[in-house]
Amino acid sequence: MCGIIGQTRNDGRAVEQALLERMCAALEHRGPDARGTFARDGAGLGIQRLRVIDLETGDQPVFNEDGSIAVVLNGEIYNYRELRADLQRRGHRFATNGDTEVIAHLYEEFGPQCVERLHGMFAFAVWDRNERRLLVARDRIGKKPLFYALRGGTLSFASELRALLQDREIPRDLDLPALDRYLAYGYVPAPMSAHRAVRKLPPAHMLIWQRGRCRIERYWQLDYARTPPSSDVEELKSALLEQIRAAVRRRLIADVPLGAFLSGGIDSSAVVAAMAQESSGPVQTFSIGFDRPQFDELPYARMIAERFATDHHEFVVEPASIDLLPRIARHHGEPFADSSSIPCFILAELTRAHVTVALNGDGGDESFGGYTRYVSNALAGRLDRLPRSLRAAVSRAGELIPAGGAVSSPRNRARRISRSLAATPPARYARYVQLWDDAGRAQLWSDDLRDTLGPADAALDVIAGPWESASGSDVIDLMLEVDATTYLPDDLIAKIDIATMAHALEARSPLLDHELMEFAASLPASMKVRGQEKKWLLREALRGTIPDVILDRPKQGFSVPIGDWFRDELRGWVREVLLDPSTLGRGWFAPGVVEDLLDRHAAGVDDDQHRIWSLLMLELWQRECVDAPVLVSAAAGS
């Protein structure tokens, strides 16, 4: 697990070694064990390495036999041993025992299509000196990030935005439409970034630069139109359990200590159960909780830890943890509004004191249907058969339901469903997942910026594009497919990558194994969401292995009590930040809207907490990354 950087030029100038060193230094937290650079013939690559596999000979860049192919890899290739054996039979000679060198020889055999043979999590770059070609690729699900900037035939790329912006030639202009989409969804969706000159390479895509020209190709996509391997429920349950065990088994390959994050929910419990079955000794597990019982899952995590006799560690998050927010904003490099980034960040730091690799349960909800919104939108979809005039009337009535209570309260669910009945299915789903809907953002932005941004419903493209190109037909599968290409990589995976790599901890996600996800995609929608029951087949497959109290309890999620904090311990602080003259002086928001938002929340309108958080993280990002951009020295990161 590492951080990678690079640049290719078509103007005849050599890539500056000092630039490569600065970019690497900005990623030192991701890979503190070794730095490697390569610069030749208008190309340069760099790597900050965290040693996990092949501790002795696996430093990078790695080359083929004659040095014409150079590779840097961020991630792990889980099938590298099988690939290596096949390549040796084809006559290739290896100088290392690690997984990175496999990519060099695989590229020699298959060119850019080599990516299709890799099973793992990765972002890598291959420089082909003879063809003057750079191949940059990202894994199928998007577990490893990749930012890039192309201008005038020069391409620069990096694992994190802050490292990329060490290249002073890249313009810093903000991408206002991207920030509008951030307010809508809580993250900047790929391929956008917070800066107009910078893009994100989407998951399952490869970028090919050759002699100053660039093209981007998609090489993989989930297929929800496939038929399952069997129609027998018992056979499917057995097949699912074996898929989970195989995915966990692949991720136990390491030459360093490993453990697991354990929340006490279904997904992380399934991973820990499989780890216990596949491991010869006790699994080390790590959990985090809160001092407010309604947010605390530690009792359930202890139950799983006792069931599988793990070596268990627990930590508690308190309001003082808010002090981490500027640091989190710097690591993300762009605004990010998932408040669970705080416990993730703390959990990663404390876990790193014990292990170098941690498995987690990310991905189960998006493959097997774990969110309440899937049930609610499936119900709303069935109501599409009603006359449009009737649906429009119900939608207007929904506007009269007052907001209040938790976001997931019955009143707010009824309000969202009824208000969206007149919308198209993708617009309905977008409204359901948005933090700030179109009307709210139109009211929030100042007059000048609103005119610049254009129509408020432009942010619908984040959901509508994937929805319209989806392979599934059932509304459940459509929502799963959209989430797998938007929310999953741009929010959940980005959060865990930033939190863990900030502390040089490698995170592995068995439930994001692409073969397991392909299996889940082939299942009938009714085996994922059955009436009001979510993750039906997964729960039934795990029954008898995981206690029923874990399987049958309502989903709690990795929630943070920010609503309480903003009314109590942090009320003064959040007002100080958001109503500061320098904040208001940016001219981004209409006068009085932010203060009114804070006042309503303090008076008990609980569902404003996430909108407040989005504004808070936008301002902290502005202060940490835009007002005071970090240019690091070549010697060390900061």
State the Cα–Cα distance between residues 30 and 38, nearest whole angstrom. 19
pLDDT of residue 389: 64
CA angle 56, 61, 63 (to 5 degrees): 95
pLDDT category of residue 424 using cuts at 50, 70 and 90: confident
Whether the predicted pLDDT of 408 surpasses 60: no
What residue type is 51 in one-letter code?
Answer: R
Mean pLDDT across the stretch 535-550? 97
Burial of 91 (0-12, 13-18, 19+ CB in 10 A): exposed
pLDDT of residue 417: 63
Report the Cα 267 to chain-centroid distance in Å. 17
Lowest-confidence range among 296-310, 376-390, 561-575, 622-636? 376-390
Helix (H) or strand (E) holding 47: strand 43-49
Cβ neighbours of residue 17 closer than 8 Å, sequence gap 6 or more: 37, 39, 44
Which is higher by pLDDT, 60 or 285? Answer: 285
State the Cα–Cα distance between residues 269 and 297, nearest whole angstrom. 12
Lowest-confidence range among 116-120, 418-422, 436-440? 418-422
Question: Which residue is associated with the tokens 């596949």?
Answer: 278
Q: What are the structural domains of the chain?
A: 2-174+189-218 (3.60.20.10)
State the Cα–Cα distance between residues 589 and 572, nearest whole angstrom. 20
What residue type is 193 in one-letter code?
Answer: S
pLDDT category of residue 638 using cuts at 50, 70 and 90: very low
pLDDT (tens digit per residue) in 578-598? 999 999 999 999 989 999 999
Lowest-confidence range among 47-56, 107-116, 299-308, 531-540? 47-56
What residue type is 3 in one-letter code?
Answer: G
The dihedral over CA atoms of 103, 106, 111, 115, expressed in degrees to the nearest 10, equals -60
Cis preceding-peptide flag for 61 (omega within 30 of 0): yes
Strand partners, 480: none
For the record, the structure tokens of 599 come out as 């006042």
3-state secondary structure of 608: helix
CA angle 110, 509, 218 (to 5 degrees): 35
Cis preceding-peptide flag for 191 (omega within 30 of 0): yes
State the Cα–Cα distance between residues 558 and 537, nearest whole angstrom. 22
What is the maximum alpha-carbon separation in the chain? Answer: 72
**Cβ 84 vs Cβ 14: under 8 Å:** no
pLDDT of residue 547: 96
**Mean of pLDDT over the chain:** 91
CA angle 468, 471, 472 (to 5 degrees): 95
pTM: 0.93
- Strand (E) positions, 242-372? 258-261, 284-290, 311-317, 357-359
The dihedral over CA atoms of 14, 18, 19, 22, expressed in degrees to the nearest 10, equals 160
State the Cα–Cα distance between residues 149 and 197, nearest whole angstrom. 6
Per DSSP, 505 falls in state: -
pLDDT (tens digit per residue) in 109-129? 999 999 999 999 999 999 999
**Cβ 131 vs Cβ 210: under 8 Å:** yes
3-state secondary structure of 304: helix
Which is higher by pLDDT, 617 or 556? Answer: 617
3-state secondary structure of 40: strand
Lowest-confidence range among 241-255, 317-331, 357-371, 608-622? 317-331
Whether the predicted pLDDT of 267 surpasses 80: yes
pLDDT (tens digit per residue) in 141-179? 999 999 999 998 999 999 999 999 999 999 999 999 999
State the Cα–Cα distance between residues 142 and 492, nearest whole angstrom. 10
Per DSSP, 624 falls in state: I
